[in-house]
Structure 1
Amino acid sequence: MQDRSVWSELVGQEPAIETLSAAATRSEAMTHAWLFTGPPGSGRSVAARTFAAALQCAVGTGCGQCGGCTTALAGTHADVHVVEPEGLSIPVAEMRALVQTAARHPATGRWQVVIIADADRLTEGASNALLKAVEEPPERTVFLLCAPSDHPEDVSITIRSRCRVVALRTPPREAIARVLVQRDGITTSDAEWAASVCGGHVGRARRLATDPDARQRRADVLRLPVQAQRLTDAFDCAEVLLRAAETDAEEESKARDEPEKDELRTAMGADGSGKGTASAKRAADAAVKQLEKRQKMRATRTQRDTLDLALVDLAGFYRDVLVTTAARGSGGASLNHPDHTEQIVEAARRWQPEVTLRKLEAVLTCRDALRWNVKPRIAVEAMAAELVNG
């Protein structure tokens, strides 16, 4: 029988589930601040939302059926507050407002829960505002922070020292394939293929299994290492990467932006009739303009995040080449991109290990540049030139 508890949301994270389940059911295992770390796709924010649902569960176990569980998972629980950066950072004003909300007594649930996705993007001022709340938390408030395991130090040491750390792992391929079949109704063959090439990223596996355009963009990215032979190829390479990221950002924006605007206009009475509608329309128009600014920042962030995923795929290709070179004569190597084995073996035959390593370093340098807010086109074109010259 399929598990219907909230913990079924966490794929391949049994050690973390054991820790969080114990905290949700036993007061002596509970603390007021948690930091979820893990590689991309491991489910940091999913773990935080799942834990929040278990804390609000009417039964106390994370049953997945009660109102506390279902509303917390759906993002509609009155006492679960989620902060996701619309832009590239979380500003101090937003954090101060959240800290004030966190100081209230729970309205309907057992806890006042604050989830901060991408806590590594807190500005210095926002970190200081959060630190004061974490140092002296209200009795029934819990803070759940999420940060990538490769850069947890981006969360200030003073905040980290006051949190209990839950380290998530890359989910096993078998676990990802199983959840795609059981929860999403994807065929076994498609699920196994997507799980084998997603790099342990559950959401990406689902998208690759269901979206032909996403599969095509990945194939385009993985053709670049063998196609980029001349300097002119470098700019074509950069254009492919940037276009793929822009397309993903545009598709996500289309799905979210207009519904958000319509919902805001309706909530502010812009579509009403009768006395007072003119002032309501002016107020709604002003609010929509502010929303559009936030949506633009979110699109920029989405584009950078999508570009980073493409760079992870590219880095995985060069890693596979190095592994194949090292494994020569000792049996098959475990590859990130097993469906591109032929190209990987050919590259391993043609490139010296030091050349492959330089190419890999160029990709990693590009990822770092994007983290420091270098313009994507500049960072990607510089990387592409290094890939050709390397």
Structure 2
Amino acid sequence: MEYWAEIVGQPEAVQTLEAAASLDVVPAHAWLFTGPPGSGRSNLAFRFAAALIARGPDRDAVFEQVRARTHPDLGVLTTQKLLIDIKAAREIVTTAHYAPAEGRFRVIVIEDADRMPERTSNVLLKALEEPPERTVWILCAPSEADLLPTIRSRTRSLRLVTPGASEIARLLHERDGIDAAVAERAARLAQSHIGMARRLASDEDSMQRRERTIDIALGIETLGDAMRAAASLVKVAEADAAALTEEIDARERAEAMRNLGLAPGAAIPPQMRSQMRALEEDQKRRATRSLRDGIDRILTDLLSLFRDVVLTALDAGPELVNRERKAEINALAERWGAARSLTVVGAVETARERLGRGITPGLVLEALFATQSAADALPVEVAR
């Protein structure tokens, strides 16, 4: 099972997919991978895609092409927008009818399949009802409930679990050579989100931004503090998004210039400007999504903090996620008590739901922190 070694905490899923990808087996024509954020849905999907495409023991070589999304027998549908539009779905459905160029199967991966509105889903449904003989679809979503029942009924479902923090820490230590203590802390603070754990462990700026988020939240006592905190954390998320997208944007622009036959820094001829404008529009959409994703990560970090406060107030016992902040968490639990702590946890969950509906991130954070400041405004005996 060395091929699947980077898939953490999913032994049953790996066993199922290894059997399905065997050379003497005809796999289901459509799969639905579900699991919480960070469970490795996309990583597993691309591993499975390469295993299906490969004709023999060349899986690793095929996977390198699949991971780079350059294999001719791979199609990928994803989006930088909040929703996958119907035009993109129609285009990918058209390619589903192409015969494999090199491998055993043509595989189409739809990341964030939960971002398909009903009209878009219906385009996909027609393709799933009449699947080409040598095409396999792999859909990824947080849960089965995020897709239409008609889509779910035409796929084989594979549910992933949240990997343990210890398993992720071991992967970071053994594969990436990260110090064991750093890997443990990153895996714990990332709450078993594999990608975020790797980032926290390997990028000091990311860890510092998370620490600043917690500092800001712990410093809120008044409504004025709440409004300032919201503005500060939007800036933190913007910096985080910029760090993620700037390098990608520059690489994409350089590649586009090469493809157009232009030297770096050369003026773009009028007849080519529309192509560059299209690229810039895609990059702007990615920046918007990256900002929202950054705000959601902030909310996830805050949720871990306030849940720690609830557990402490209830004397519930499990190890804290933010155990480096134990003294501050103890003080907040004493000040708020369990009832107020639960109210703030509920406010964070409401904030995440509002963010998902497209409400302006700054307003989402202001409403959240206003609730937190209200908890501090109550007399201690009431808060308890």
- In 2, Cα distance between equivalents of 1:15 and 1:346: 43
Equivalent of 1:179 in 171, 177, 182: 171
How far residue 28 of structure 1 moved from its aligned partner, in angstroms, is 5.2
How far residue 270 of structure 1 moved from its aligned partner, in angstroms, is 3.4
Normalising by structure 2, we get a TM-score of: 0.92
Residue in structure 2 matched with residue 156 of structure 1 by the alignment: 148
Deviates more, 1:293-302 or 1:19-28: 19-28
AA aligned to 2:37 is P
Structure 1, residues 72-120: CA drift from partner, whole Å, max 9, x if none? 2332211111122111111000110100011111111111111111111
- In 1, Cα distance between equivalents of 2:187 and 2:366: 30
Residue pairs, 1:123-138, within 5 angstroms? 123-138=117-132
AA aligned to 2:113 is A
Residue in structure 2 matched with residue 261 of structure 1 by the alignment: 253
Equivalent of 1:312 in 277, 295, 300: 300
Equivalent of 2:84 in 90, 94, 97: 90
How far residue 224 of structure 1 moved from its aligned partner, in angstroms, is 3.4
Deviates more, 1:25-34 or 1:75-84: 25-34
Other structure's SS at 2:101 match: coil
Normalising by structure 1, we get a TM-score of: 0.91
Residue pairs, 1:129-278, within 5 angstroms? 129-149=123-143, 152-271=144-263
How far residue 284 of structure 1 moved from its aligned partner, in angstroms, is 2.9
Tell me if structure 2 keeps the 8 A contact 1:22–1:29: no
Residue in structure 2 matched with residue 378 of structure 1 by the alignment: 363
AA aligned to 2:139 is L
Q: Which consecutive unaligned segments of at least 5 residues does structure 2 have?
A: 376-384
Tell me if structure 2 keeps the 8 A contact 1:82–1:117: yes
Tell me if structure 1 keeps the 8 A contact 2:308–2:320: yes
Tell me if structure 2 keeps the 8 A contact 1:270–1:284: no
Other structure's SS at 1:325 match: helix
- In 1, Cα distance between equivalents of 2:56 and 2:296: 41
Other structure's SS at 2:5 match: helix
Other structure's SS at 1:180 match: helix
Whether 1:57 aligns to 2:54 is: yes
AA aligned to 2:212 is D
How far residue 221 of structure 1 moved from its aligned partner, in angstroms, is 1.5
- In 1, Cα distance between equivalents of 2:217 and 2:38: 24
Identity %: 41
Q: Which consecutive unaligned segments of at least 5 residues does structure 1 have?
A: none
Tell me if structure 1 keeps the 8 A contact 2:46–2:63: no
- In 1, Cα distance between equivalents of 2:16 and 2:335: 48
- In 2, Cα distance between equivalents of 1:19 and 1:334: 33
Tell me if structure 2 keeps the 8 A contact 1:268–1:283: no
Residue in structure 2 matched with residue 298 of structure 1 by the alignment: 286
AA aligned to 2:107 is V
How far residue 27 of structure 1 moved from its aligned partner, in angstroms, is 5.6
Other structure's SS at 2:21 match: helix
Other structure's SS at 2:309 match: helix
Tell me if structure 1 keeps the 8 A contact 2:6–2:171: no
What is the root-mean-square deviation in Å for CA atoms of aligned residues? 2.0
